[in-house]
Structures are given as C-alpha cells and as structure tokens.
Amino acid sequence: MNYWLFKSEPSCFSIDDLAKKPNHITPWDGVRNYQARNFMRSMEINDLGFFYHSSCAVPGIVGIIKVVKKSYPEESDPRWEHVDVQLVQKLPEIITLEKLRTIPELHNMIILRKGNRLSITPITAHEWESIHDRIRH
DNA sequence: GCCAACGTTGGC
DNA sequence: GCCAACGTTGGC
C-alpha cells in the first residue's frame, strides 16, 4: 500500500467535478511530466491519495481518493499514461496549505518544498497519518 | 499580475 | 552533451 498526493487546479478539475462523475471515478489524464508519469506507473490498485487544489484562492487538501485502475497509455499519445482514481471522501473542511505548513511531521513533504511543481508526489505513511489526524470527524 | 523555480527545447 | 532561451507552475 502506497500513499500519494494528486494536484489539480479546481478551475480545471475540482473535487466536486470528481463527485459528479459516474461511480465517482475519473482517469487522471493530462499529466505531461515524466517523473509524475513514472509515479503513476508504480501505483497499485487501492493505493490511497490526497486530492489537492492548487493555483487557487485557498490551496490545500480537499479529499481522499484511491487508485482503481493501474496505469495505462493515453489514446492521444501512448508515451503518456494515467491511472483511474475514485473518490473515497470529500473532506468536511479543507486542510489548507497554510495549515499543512504548521504540522511538524510534514517538514520534509515534497509538496511543501520551495519551487516544487510535481503534480503527483509520493507521501510516507507517517505523513499520511499526520494529515489524516487533522480531518474533522 | 509578479516572479522564483523548474522542465523542455534546440542550436552548437 | 552543454547551456541559453523559453514556457509552465503555483504561491503570493
């Protein structure tokens, strides 16, 4: 079991867009970065991920998703690949980037590093739990 | 809108 | 294979 963080600009594809999809499933297509593609290739069914809203007024984690189909080539350009993901939970409240920066366990998280632009990043089980603990129940 | 950081492109 | 130029990302 691996953990990931998936970035998306909500003006392009938001957590609510995912919630409107049949079975709450979407192909995570359009990734045009080799490192991110390689991360997708290494994903397994049932891997979990955080859904992150970027380039918006309040960036942060807005949901939990899981991998439901292993990486496969895109029709338009087989050089690129993507997995299918399914919505597990929309968080009752966003965990903002500002909040994430205050969590000591996350100081090494890739997404928080200056200049990071990767749209898909692995996160550790420890990081996953630290964030998960901040979800309101 | 600004700009730092980073990836990609293409001439050499 | 180097590296300058350019395009994109994403927080602010």
Question: pLDDT tens across A22-54, in order?
Answer: 999 999 999 999 999 999 999 999 999 999 999
* pLDDT at residue A137 in the model: 66
**Secondary structure (3-state) at A32:** coil
Provide the token pair at A11: 């003006």
CA–C1' A11–C10 (A):
13
Contact (CB, 8 A) for A120 and A77 = no
* pLDDT at residue A76 in the model: 84
* Shortest-distance nucleotide from A114 CA to C1': B5
Strand C contacts in A 60-119 (CB under 7 A): 97-98, 116-119
- Residue listed under structure tokens 């807005």: A62
Q: Which nucleotides of B are covered by protein (CB under 7 A)?
A: 4-8
**Secondary structure (3-state) at A35:** helix
Which residues of chain A have a pLDDT value below 50? none
Of A14, A15, A3, the residue nearest A87 (C-alpha): A15
* pLDDT at residue A129 in the model: 96
Nucleic strand B under 7 Å from the C-beta of A42? no
